[in-house]
């Protein structure tokens, strides 16, 4: 107010323009009122936190610094544009990129947001990414998830997080969300009706303008998403249905807004280049089937793995090569070309010919020279070649392998599957004809002691020859 007056005194012409545009935007900008909500903002935070922790466990996070930094910076800028009356001091807006092909994004109550890599790849400009994010932030700020639950039956907050997650993770999100809506559960928090969509479009446009992005970029992004169609396009659209004349409504709102400054992280092109250099993102279906291994160049896909404890009971399996191997009875045998891997349910992964396991033991026989030390060194080098992070963690020690003199070498590695440190034990002994029997035990570093116990039993009890 005082500033306008001062302008008026010194430069009357300018004062008139400034005053006019303020009046205009104040009158033309659509007023958005948050819907009725019987939950507290703290409830939003609580269930968003739970669902977010679970999402991070179950979805492959891209974990690429450059791409994350792009999305975080856009996000922070947009959060600065949320109108004061819609700020909740409890809310924490966070931004993560999921290594997933489908063009999608979702935001959880209280602020955690996840943007699929496919969304960034589809966007033509930084402003388009900002458009989707501003729309998502608006659902959070208006507390649409819990407002929608308010309209339905009353839920226990604790029970909700899992239901949200069922909707996110259970496979091709679209179909699972459809199931969710059948049961009236996860759908409340991720799939919105036309009125909430209209609100998120308009508030999103306002937030963009206040943050320095052109709101018309949001409309452009929606066109881009629609145009993608096919298998990967409509997913976001089915969660965020077009409230009708979406493009025109946003453009009209944009005309009433003044873009304040010009937001630009300057990181969009380099992030896109970074994504182009990575192996393609897995689809939702591949993620649901656990085929998320094989990312590299910073794009390694990682997942949490949960497996049952090794059974106390052992069973014996014929591994070929005149080998009989006793392993915990709840481990399965997976035949490779020249090896057998024994692993519990949920620990063995196969992806376009490549295999990996997080818990268990691989057994094989390879040609040797008759010198066990030298042959063991050879095996170690070939293991190092196929596992970039593998390191020897101690000296080889003499060990009993199937009642023979053997060597066991402790190693450490970073799991391809989980991204977590893992314990590896390579045991070798000579078998007939100068060949070498090898056994490679693998377990998360945190469970090394438990599994080393099991590996030792398996080593000692392997029967070689008839």
Q: Which stretch, 43-51, 188-196, 340-348, 383-391, contacts Zn ion (CB under 5 A)? A: 188-196
Could you tell me which stretch among 183-191, 239-247, 309-317, 422-430 binds Zn ion (CB under 5 A)? Answer: 239-247
Do the beta carbons of residue 28 and residue 256 sit within 8 Å?
yes
Q: Give dist(CA 308, CA 329) in Å, integer.
A: 11
Q: How far is residue 437's CA from residue 460's CA, in Å, rounded to a whole number?
A: 13
Query: Of all residues in this chain, which one has the CB nearest to Zn ion in the complex?
Result: 240
Query: Please, what is the minimum distance in Å from the beta carbon of residue 197 to Zn ion?
Result: 5
Question: Contact with Zn ion (CB under 5 A): which of 117, 240, 302, 303?
Answer: 240
Q: Report in angstroms how near the CB of residue 338 gets to Zn ion at its nearest.
A: 53
CB of 204 to Zn ion, least distance (A): 8
Nearest to 307 by CA among 328, 280, 281, 325: 328
Window contacting Zn ion (CB under 5 A); options: 98-106, 115-123, 234-242, 285-293: 234-242
**Given the rule CB under 5 A, which of 116-124, 200-208, 272-280, 341-349 is the region that contacts Zn ion?**
200-208
Tell me how far, at minimum, the Cβ of 160 lies from Zn ion, in Å. 19
Toward Zn ion, which CB reaches closer, 178 or 333? 178
| Closer CB to Zn ion, 101 or 240, in the complex | 240
Handedness of CA 220, 226, 228, 234 (dihedral sign): positive
Closer to Zn ion at the Cβ: 214 or 239? 239
Region of 145-153, 175-183, 190-198, 229-237 interacting with Zn ion (CB under 5 A): 190-198
Check binding of 207 to Zn ion (CB under 5 A): no
Residue 410: closest CA among 454, 365, 452, 368: 452
Tokens of 446: 């945190």
Query: Quick one: 202 or 209, whose CB is closer to Zn ion?
Result: 202
Q: Give yes or no for residue 200 binding Zn ion (CB under 5 A).
A: yes
Shortest separation between residue 135's beta carbon and Zn ion, angstroms: 5
Size of residue set near Zn ion by CB under 5 A: 4
**The token pair that represents 231 in the structure block:** 């298998």
| Stretch in the footprint of Zn ion (CB under 5 A) among 3-11, 81-89, 95-103, 240-248 | 240-248
Nearest-5° angle of CA 435, CA 329, CA 438?
15
Tell whether residue 191 is a contact of Zn ion (CB under 5 A).
no
- Calpha distance 144→190 (Å, rounded): 9
359 binding Zn ion? (CB under 5 A): no
70 binds Zn ion (CB under 5 A): no
| Closer residue to Zn ion in complex, CB, 189/451 | 189
CB of 78 to Zn ion, least distance (A): 15
Cα(329)–Cα(383) distance, rounded to whole angstroms?
Answer: 28
143 binds Zn ion (CB under 5 A): no
Task: Note whether 60 and 100 are within 8 A (CB).
Answer: yes
Work out whether 442 is an interface residue with Zn ion (CB under 5 A): no
Which of residues 93 and 331 has its CB atom nearest to Zn ion in the complex? 93
Give the binding site for Zn ion (CB under 5 A).
192, 197, 200, 240
């Amino acid at each position: 107010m005082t500033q306008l007056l001062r302008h008026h005194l010194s430069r009357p012409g300018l004062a008139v323009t400034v005053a006019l545009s303020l009046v205009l935007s104040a009158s033309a900008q659509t007023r958005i009122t948050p819907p009725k909500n019987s939950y507290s903002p703290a409830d939003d935070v609580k269930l968003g936190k739970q669902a977010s922790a679970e999402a991070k466990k179950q979805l492959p996070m891209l974990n690429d610094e450059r791409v994350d930094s792009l999305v975080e910076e856009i996000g922070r800028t947009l959060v600065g544009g949320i109108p004061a009356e819609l700020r909740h001091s409890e809310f924490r807006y966070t931004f993560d990129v999921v290594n997933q092909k489908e063009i999608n994004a979702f935001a959880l109550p209280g602020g955690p947001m996840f943007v699929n890599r496919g969304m960034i790849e589809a966007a033509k400009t930084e402003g388009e990414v900002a458009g989707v994010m501003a729309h998502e932030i608006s659902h959070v700020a208006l507390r649409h998830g819990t407002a929608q639950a308010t309209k339905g039956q009353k839920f226990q907050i604790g029970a909700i997080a899992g239901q949200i997650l069922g909707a996110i993770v259970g496979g091709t999100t679209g179909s699972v969300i459809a199931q969710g809506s059948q049961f009236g559960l996860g759908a409340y928090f991720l799939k919105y009706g036309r009125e909430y969509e209209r609100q998120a479009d308009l508030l999103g446009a306002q937030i963009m303008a206040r943050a320095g992005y052109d709101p018309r970029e949001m409309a452009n992004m929606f066109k881009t998403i629609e145009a993608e169609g096919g298998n990967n396009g409509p997913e976001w659209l089915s969660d965020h249905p077009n409230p009708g004349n979406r493009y025109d409504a946003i453009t009209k709102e944009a005309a009433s807004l003044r873009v304040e400054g010009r937001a630009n992280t300057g990181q969009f092109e380099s992030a896109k280049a970074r994504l182009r250099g990575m192996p393609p993102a897995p689809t939702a279906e591949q993620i649901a089937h656990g085929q998320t291994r094989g990312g590299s160049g910073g794009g390694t896909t990682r997942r949490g793995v949960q497996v049952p404890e090794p059974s106390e009971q052992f069973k014996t399996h014929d591994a070929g090569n005149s080998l009989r191997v006793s392993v915990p009875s709840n481990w399965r045998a997976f035949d490779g070309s020249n090896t057998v891997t024994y692993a519990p349910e949920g620990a063995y992964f196969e992806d376009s010919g490549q295999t990996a396991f997080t818990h268990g033991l691989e057994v094989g026989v390879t040609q040797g020279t008759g010198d066990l030390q030298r042959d063991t060194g050879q095996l170690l080098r070939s293991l190092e070649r196929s596992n970039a992070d593998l390191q020897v963690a101690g000296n080889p020690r003499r060990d009993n392998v199937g009642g023979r003199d053997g060597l066991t070498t402790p190693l450490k590695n970073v799991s391809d599957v989980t991204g977590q440190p893992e314990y590896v034990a390579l045991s070798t002994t000579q078998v007939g004809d100068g060949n070498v029997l090898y056994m490679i035990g693998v377990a998360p570093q945190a469970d090394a002691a438990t599994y080393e116990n099991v590996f030792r039993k398996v080593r000692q009890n392997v029967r070689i020859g008839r």
